Amino acid sequence: MKERSQKLPHIEIIPAAPEQEAVLANLLQLYAHDFSGFYDVELQANGRFVYKDLPLYWRDANRHPFLVYADHKLAGFVLMKRGSEVTGDPNIWDMVEFFVARGFRRRGIGTEIAKLIWKRYPGFWELRVLRLNQAALRFWVRAIKIFAGVTAEPVSFQKDGDDWLLFSFESKENTAEG
């Protein structure tokens, strides 16, 4: 096995073009598989998970799909949109889905991706974490603290019988990074 470098790789966050929808759909399979360990995600008869909202990312101007590369290797994706899923506030940036492939995890890459997105899109942000997803909860608490410099206290809410935590914070930065 090749030893991983401790140096943070070069991160690129590229808007996904419509012709890259299949790439995102493939990555969503890995994401849904990870999620199925603590959430009821239905596996279809054809052996695939369905993410019905994916086509909206090229039809709705408020939705933004991104592919993420680390040292020119596909490493994950970000799906974000304008408008809160919880409060309905149209001015909130919402981190809808965020995925880093397993081979790129626990190296600071996910935190760097989040920071680059937040810098690129200043304003008020929300992100939701299923309470059962303890790894994601730890990740987001740490990433927000590193970026915003404060510990974000999540608010509990229920949706469809599941317990969620809602993080809210502000990004005041706008750079051309990423």
CA distance 50 to 29: 8
In a domain, 23, yes or no: yes
4, part of any domain: no
Please report whether residue 1 resides in a domain: no
Q: Looking at residue 82, what is its pLDDT? A: 97
In this structure, what CATH number is given to the domain that contains residue 41? 3.40.630.30
Q: With pLDDT > 70 as the criterion, what percentage of the chain qualifies?
A: 93
C-alpha span between 126 and 75 (Å, rounded): 23
pTM score of the predicted model: 0.88
* pLDDT tens column, 87-118: 899 999 999 999 999 888 888 899 999 999 99
Q: Is 176 part of any domain?
A: no
116 vs 113: CA distance, rounded Å: 5
* 6, part of any domain: no
pLDDT per position as a tens digit, 20-33: 999 999 999 888 88
Please state the domain count of the chain: 1
Closest of 67, 50, 49 to residue 12, by C-alpha: 67
Domain ranges, residue 97: 11-171
Q: And the tokens for 96? A: 């809808």
Cα dihedral 130, 113, 55, 53, rounded to 10, equals: 10
Q: What is the DSSP letter of 127?
A: E
Query: Is residue 32 in some structural domain?
Result: yes
Q: Tell me: the pLDDT tens digits for 68-92?
A: 999 999 999 999 999 998 889 999 9
Predicted confidence at residue 176, as pLDDT, reads 42
